[in-house]
Amino acid sequence: MNLICKISINKRQEEIAIAGPIRRSPARVVQQAHRINNRITSKVVRVVGEDIETAVMSIHDALKLADSLELDLVEISPNADPPVCKVVDYQKFLYQQKKKQKEIKAKTTKVVIKEIRFGPNTDDHDYNFKLKHAIKFLEEGAKVRAYVFFKGRSILFKEQGEVLLLRFANDLEEYGKVEQLPKLEGKRMTISLSPKKKK
């Protein structure tokens, strides 16, 4: 090993020795969703919790109470007057919050809308191909928005477009119900169908 290399290695070791051991910050240092324990800044709080009588007390007494029960003091309503703090196991509290959010997410079903485009002079082969797709979409629980696009002078055939969309809705009567009858918006005439609930 040459001299320059040796010097640079020694210098690096000296720097590490001066800086001291590298401490990784624990995962809990990551910004928390709630203020807990000593991070609560209010001097007076309303304390709630299981098997605890709701009371307004100083932060000092509230922390003492949580400590005596070997639990955390968690600020759950910072904007209340005084702020509401819950005496609870913080990890358990977070787990319950996540569980609630998952349940809410599961209950809110995502509405999928599939679009099908026609021209005012769509032939039977193309129409039947698109009809099959619409049946499949409705059976899968998606909404279908079908529209006739009028390019240039084809707007003169708007009645033809309306007839086409009404025929389409009629052919899908078994699979979906009409939410919106044919409606002309600019160069588009649109009809909306939602899937029928399975019995």
Q: Which of 3-12, 43-52, 167-176, 190-199 has the lowest mean pLDDT?
A: 3-12
Among 103, 138, 154, the domain-final residue is 103
21 part of a folded domain: no
What pLDDT score was predicted for residue 199?
56
Reference 39, options 5, 3, 85; nearest CA is: 85
Q: Structural domain of residue 148, as residue ranges?
A: 113-195
Percent of the residues in the chain that have a pLDDT greater than 70, as a whole number: 80
What pLDDT score was predicted for residue 22?
39
What pLDDT score was predicted for residue 17?
44
What pLDDT score was predicted for residue 181?
86
Q: pLDDT at residue 190 above 50?
A: yes
Reference 189, options 113, 135, 117, 126; nearest CA is: 117
167 part of a folded domain: yes
- My answer on whether 189 and 120 are in the same domain is yes
15 part of a folded domain: no
- My answer on whether 97 and 136 are in the same domain is no
Among 103, 122, 149, the domain-final residue is 103
What pLDDT score was predicted for residue 39?
87
Burial 132-162 (b: 16+ CB within 10 A, else e): eebbebbeeebbbbbbbebeeebeebbebbb
Q: pLDDT at residue 37 above 70?
A: yes
What's the CATH code of the domain at 81? 3.10.20.80
Q: pLDDT at residue 32 above 80?
A: no
- My answer on whether 126 and 165 are in the same domain is yes
More confident residue, 107 or 162: 162
Reference 158, options 183, 181, 178, 179; nearest CA is: 183
Considering the entire predicted model, what is its pTM? 0.45
What pLDDT score was predicted for residue 133?
92
Reference 45, options 61, 66, 67, 68; nearest CA is: 61
Q: What's the maximum distance between 2 C-alpha atoms anywhere in the chain?
A: 92
Reference 61, options 79, 82, 77; nearest CA is: 82
What's the CATH code of the domain at 119? 3.30.110.10
Number of domains forming the structure of the chain: 2
- My answer on whether 128 and 66 are in the same domain is no
Q: How far are the Cα atoms of 33, 71, 85, 93, 166 from residue 98, in angstroms, in the given order?
A: 12, 19, 19, 9, 47
CA 153 – CA 119 distance, rounded (Å) = 12
119 three-class SS? coil
Q: How many residues does the chain have?
A: 199
What pLDDT score was predicted for residue 75?
92
What pLDDT score was predicted for residue 112?
82
Among 57, 75, 103, the domain-final residue is 103
- My answer on whether 76 and 123 are in the same domain is no
What pLDDT score was predicted for residue 155?
65
CA 195 – CA 174 distance, rounded (Å) = 9
25 part of a folded domain: no
Q: What secondary structure letter does DSSP report for 43?
A: S
User: HSE (CB half, 13 Å, CA atoms) of 157?
Assistant: 17
4 part of a folded domain: no
φ, ψ of residue 154 to 5 degrees: the values are -65, -10
What pLDDT score was predicted for residue 27?
41
- Across the chain, mean pLDDT equals 80
